[in-house]
Structure 1
Amino acid sequence: MAADDLHFSPDDIVSWTTRHFEGETEYRVIERDDTRLLQASAQQQASAKYLEREIDLGETPYLHWCWQVSGVHEGLDETQKSGDDYPARVYVARKTGLLPWHVESVNYVWASSQPAGTAWPNAFTSRAQLLALQSGETRVGEWVAEVRDVRDDYRRLFGSRPESIDGLALMSDGDNAEVDATAWFTHLAFSASPEPPDCP
């Protein structure tokens, strides 16, 4: 990655602001095979780690990360409020007005039921669009590298092509369906390069 890329280490992320939805997901830094990871554990809880920061998509349009999950949530309808739980998600947000709810967000999720490549509106607000990058148990327990062109995803999901975003977050949650989840994240970054990260 280039020197002007934005890297967010597990130690950075664990210090981000916590946004509570239902209870508090446990976030902590662990070390495995000489690699520092962010571990997110949700026991029927939902809270996110988020960073409010303007990020120039003209300079660093590609969002990179590696993630791994311990399992998925069987039998959920993720298009309904009762099924709006994901073992792992990473999301970006941009402001569209002056009021706090004037926000559009793209949620990249590890889905349990919705097929990979599927997009749908969040069950609680159409201002959040979900995009399943992984689905089901096929790659559970494996590290998976992701690269997203954030501007292209906004164009696809909202019909816009923003030059910047205003926030970044990640979460593991299980509050709506009262399920448990554990996920691990590393190599989170915005980059000028579409090359995927080298996962552990």
Structure 2
Amino acid sequence: MKPTSLLGPILGLTLATSATAAPDTDTLGDFSRYDTLPQAPWQLVPFDGLPPTEYQRVTQGGVAAVKATSEASMALLARPLEVNLEQNPVLCWRWWVDEPVQQADMSKKSGDDYAARVYVTFDLPSSAMSLGTRMKLSVGRTLFGEQLPDAAINYVWDNTHAVGTAMPNAYTDRAQMLVLRSGMEDTGQWVEERRNLLEDLQRFFDTAPDRPLQLAIASDSDDTGSSASALFADIHLVAEGEQCQFPSPDNSENTESAGSGG
């Protein structure tokens, strides 16, 4: 079980984003910079009582990536965020999944597993939350620590729900799930994504954030006791109206592991 996995734990480290790849771009995950993972600002964030998902630095189809491998396990590969979403609100990334978690069901705690998920956590203005929400968060922070954030948006590769399906997480309504890919369609290849974080935050929580807190990627299969794996690459933020900056694959490199973490 992972009642707070979509909201934390939040990293205690605060770091600025890495050097930009191009004007108006905040580079968050250029994995060509690493031989092994995790390395700062990325950290492995395990969960008490659960074996951790493993993360390796690999090259897949000429793209430098991180590979997540889950065997009835869960752990985040996460980094803190210190970015200006008013300037660069659009999150871009590419991911690769060979197959979804067949036993998963995102509407149930027992099925809260995904081959791939990308999510961002936020602080929200107090004025944007009802008294009931503030009280629930106060109780949650008493139980799980002050680092519990106010909100999280999760972009997932699901197994059965239609693309565009949105619902609260089975454990908490402070984490909203949005299906970007589903089933076997688009598997076995790099798939590019872009999402406007400010628009999605307004959609799900009817507010703008005080600040983003953390970006995390994961494959998890602890609730279903199954297996999952995915690759993630080229995570960055761009301005609204700007194109995502995906480097051309380096086809001189074969798929290979360049190290491991966790």
In structure 1, stretches of 5+ residues that fail to align are none
CA drift at 1:163:
5.9
Are 2:121 and 2:149, in contact at CA under 8 Å, matched by a contact in 1?
no
Question: Is 1:188 equivalent to 2:241 in the alignment?
Answer: no
Are 1:50 and 1:169, in contact at CA under 8 Å, matched by a contact in 2?
yes
What's the % identity of the aligned pairs? 32
Report Cα offsets for 1:36-67 as digits up to 9, x if no partner: 11111111111001112222101111100000
Which residue of 11, 27, 38 maps to 1:14? 38
Q: TM-score, normalised by structure 2?
A: 0.71
2:152 aligned partner: 105
In structure 2, stretches of 5+ residues that fail to align are 1-20, 127-140, 250-262
Runs of 4+ in 1 over 4 A off after TM superposition: none
1:5 aligned partner: 25
Matches of 1:43 and 1:180, distance apart in 2:
5
Give the structure with the larger strand fraction: 1
Count of residues in correspondence between the two structures: 200
CA drift at 1:6:
1.4
SS at match of 1:162: coil
Which residue of 150, 157, 176 maps to 2:223? 176
CA drift at 1:175:
0.5
Pairwise CA RMSD: 2.0
- CA shift in 2, pair 1:59/1:163, >3 Å: farther
Report Cα offsets for 1:16-53 as digits up to 9, x if no partner: 12221321111010123443111111111110011122
Alignment of 1:1-200 (within 5 A): 2-7=22-27, 8-10=29-31, 11=33, 14-15=38-39, 16-21=42-47, 22-96=50-124, 99-162=146-209, 164-192=211-239, 193-198=241-246, 200=249
Are 2:103 and 2:224, in contact at CA under 8 Å, matched by a contact in 1?
no
Report Cα offsets for 1:175-200 as digits up to 9, x if no partner: 00011111011111011154244474
Matches of 2:166 and 2:84, distance apart in 1:
24
Work out which of the two has the higher radius of gyration on C-alpha atoms and give 1 or 2.
Answer: 2
